[in-house]
Amino acid sequence: MDLSFTKEELAFRDEVRSYLADNLPERISDAVRRGGELTKEMMEEWHAILQRKGWLATIWPKEYGGPGWTPVQKHIFEEECCRAYAPRIVPFGLSMLGPVLIRFGTEEQKAEILPRILDGTDWWCQGYSEPGAGSDLASLKTRAVRDGDEWVINGQKTWTTLGQHANKIFCLCRTDPDAKQQEGISFILVDLDTPGIEMRPIKLIEGGHEVNEVFFTDVRVPYGNLVGEENKGWTIAKYLLTHERTGIAGVGFSMQSLEEVKALARKVKRGGKRLIDDPLFAARIAQAEVDLEAMKITNLRMLFRAQEMGAPGPETSILKIKGTVIHQELKDLARRALGPVAAPFPGYLAEGNIMFGPDGTEHNAARYFNNRKTSIFGGSNEIQRNILSKAALEL
């Protein structure tokens, strides 16, 4: 057993680190550090910077424009991006639709769509969930009916993340209402400019706008927008949900949060002493650090296993469950450390010169609340446990 990176991996890490240092604009990393909402322009700018270097579509094969990295390289890259406070890659085109097209798309679809994801022409969003179909995604009702060489779509999608920036949406639609639930679903691409589509914002708990609902009324798109076979969309949906995702544990983000909490606890004063000298608070940080240290290795172990087996197994659900819980705990500490000073609604005193907590902490309470989402979306932590108990434990 050897936990150290190879010489080549260390050289790669240094290369990533220096590229980020030279190319990630401080304006953008500063916005990430502060934890407010990023603008569309910032996300697009960051994508373009990575694409210049060929590092944007990190999980695509080389022939489609990916860098051809090993899982360990992808891991190193993600960790370095977190360390540098780079924005997260917007995943819908790059990590979701891209791999789906590469696996299931026609040559025309690949040739037409993939380059537009890479150069930022298209911003995709994910139309899976519906008001009545969350954990039980296969019960979705949005209907697509074939009419000559067109699909006619009616129904509603919801929770569409960053749909307000998107010009395209990939949807799971019911195309055979008489088949067994999973067998009547198709994967269809839709241009959001098509008549009959209405998008409405959903305001989240902390006041932010990152999700939307999308209504479809007699929306007509070409039949050729179907990806894969008709009524075989569930296979694609499953592929998308289970295919290799190195970032699922969010280790890099937790490392970032841990450093922030430590720095904060050194700055915050509690009655003449630093908060970090309060044994109760220090114990909370130390506990989270132990959990995270173990998670880093659990993450790497599962990455290696996936590499050996050729595909990730159900154990990756462990990464989702524990990874989100650790990250949420750290966000709790970042809020807790500020005490009552975390309370002001962010942005309200932007014009004034009153400082509350240390610089850059005004969103700490908002981030804590917003991050409750991570144990709900992408398969809730309860669903992950169901997967584990069935597939790993055979219970």
Residues 11-16: contacts with CB under 8 Å, at least 24 apart? 12/73, 12/76, 13/76, 13/80, 16/76, 16/77, 16/80, 16/81
Q: Pick what 161 binds: ligand FAD, another protein, none; C-beta below 5 to 8 Å, kind-dependent.
A: ligand FAD
Task: Specify whether 37 is catalytic.
Answer: no
Q: Which residue lies nearer to ligand FAD by CB, 90 or 288? A: 90
Q: Pick what 348 binds: another protein, ligand FAD, none; C-beta below 5 to 8 Å, kind-dependent.
A: another protein
Q: Pick what 160 binds: ligand FAD, another protein, none; C-beta below 5 to 8 Å, kind-dependent.
A: ligand FAD
CA pair distance 265, 95, nearest whole angstrom: 36
313: phi then psi, degrees, rounded to nearest 5: -95, -175
Asked if 356 touches another protein (CB under 8 A), the answer is yes
Q: How far is the CB of 287 from another protein (least distance, A)?
A: 13
CA pair distance 141, 145, nearest whole angstrom: 12
CA pair distance 152, 145, nearest whole angstrom: 5
The angle formed by the CA atoms of residues 83, 85 and 91, to the nearest 5 degrees, is 105
Q: Pick what 126 binds: ligand FAD, another protein, none; C-beta below 5 to 8 Å, kind-dependent.
A: ligand FAD
Asked if 12 touches another protein (CB under 8 A), the answer is no
Distance of CA 122 to the CA centre of its chain: 18
Asked if 381 touches another protein (CB under 8 A), the answer is yes
169: phi then psi, degrees, rounded to nearest 5: -140, 135
Q: How far is the CB of 161 from ligand FAD (least distance, A)?
A: 3
Q: Which residue lies nearer to another protein by CB, 51 or 181? A: 181
Asked if 377 touches another protein (CB under 8 A), the answer is yes
Positions 178 through 237 that interact with another protein (CB under 8 A):
202-207
User: Which residue in 281, 295, 312, 327 binds another protein (CB under 8 A)?
Assistant: 281
Asked if 135 contacts 380 with a C-beta cutoff of 8 angstroms, the reply is yes
Q: Closest Cα to residue 320, out of 241, 230, 206?
A: 241
Asked if 177 touches another protein (CB under 8 A), the answer is no
Asked if 280 touches another protein (CB under 8 A), the answer is yes
Question: How far from 50 is each of 43, 67, 219, CA to CA, in Å?
Answer: 11, 11, 35
Q: Closest Cα to residue 98, out of 130, 58, 129?
A: 58
Q: Which residue lies nearer to ligand FAD by CB, 282 or 376? A: 376
Q: Which residue lies nearer to another protein by CB, 344 or 360? A: 344
Q: Pick what 128 binds: ligand FAD, another protein, none; C-beta below 5 to 8 Å, kind-dependent.
A: ligand FAD
For 213-238, the DSSP string reads: EEEEEEEEEEGGGEESSTTBHHHHHH
260: phi then psi, degrees, rounded to nearest 5: -65, -45
Which x/- pattern, by CB under 8 A, does the window 244-273 give for another protein?
-------------------------xxxx-
Distance of CA 13 to the CA centre of its chain: 22
Which positions lie near ligand FAD, rule CB under 6 A?
126, 128-129, 134-135, 159-161, 211, 373, 376-377, 380, 382-383, 386
Residue from 15, 44, 45, 244 carrying the catalytic annotation = 244
CA pair distance 316, 269, nearest whole angstrom: 40
Q: Pick what 224 binds: ligand FAD, another protein, none; C-beta below 5 to 8 Å, kind-dependent.
A: none
Q: How far is the CB of 386 from ligand FAD (least distance, A)?
A: 5
Pairing of strands 185-191, 143-147: unpaired
Question: How far from 161 is each of 50, 158, 257, CA to CA, in Å?
Answer: 22, 9, 23
Q: Which residue lies nearer to ligand FAD by CB, 160 or 317? A: 160
Q: Which residue lies nearer to another protein by CB, 114 or 342? A: 342
Asked if 351 touches another protein (CB under 8 A), the answer is no
Residue type for position 43: M
* Closest CB to ligand FAD: residue number: 134
Q: Pick what 145 binds: another protein, ligand FAD, none; C-beta below 5 to 8 Å, kind-dependent.
A: none
Q: Which residues bind another protein (CB under 8 A)?
A: 129, 132, 134-136, 139, 158-159, 202-207, 269-272, 278, 280-281, 284, 332, 335-336, 338-346, 348-349, 352, 354, 356, 365-366, 368-369, 372-373, 375-377, 380-382, 385
Question: Residues with catalytic annotation?
Answer: 244
